Amino acid sequence: MVEINLLMVVIMFVSGCLSYTLKRKHLLSMLLSLEFLVLSLFFLLVIYLIYYKFEFFFSMIFLTFSVCEGALGLSILVSMIRTHGNDYFQSFNIL
């Protein structure tokens, strides 16, 4: 049963990486791909903690940091839309 779950996590992670690298037009789609990667890593963490019979306290810390990362990404998206008028990643100039 663990092998099936690990295979599902690997498929989720690879599909998240592919969608992150192939869908680079909008910043919102890139943020959604990153959140999907975080979700697959959280699922892998839960499988690991269940397999070795550890406590789930670290999973709550991981969820807290992933929520902070999502909020930071959304704030960057909002500030980019306010300054540039769209969320195209190519129109964002680093300089």
Residue 93 forms part of a structural domain:
no
Write the CB contacts of 48 (distance below 8 Å, at least 6 apart in sequence): 54
Q: Are 54 and 47 in contact (CB under 8 A)?
A: no
Is residue 70 assigned to a domain?
A: yes
Residue 56 lies in a domain: yes
If one counts the domains in the chain, the total is 1
Q: Is the pLDDT of residue 90 over 80?
A: no
Q: What pLDDT shows up at residue 94?
A: 60
Q: 91 in a domain, yes or no?
A: no
CATH number for the domain that contains residue 37: 1.10.287.3510
The 10s digit of each residue's pLDDT in 15-64 is 999 999 998 888 899 999 999 999 999 999 999 999 999 999 999 999 99
φ/ψ of 66, rounded to 5, equals -70, -35
Instruction: Classify residue 1 by its DSSP letter.
Output: -
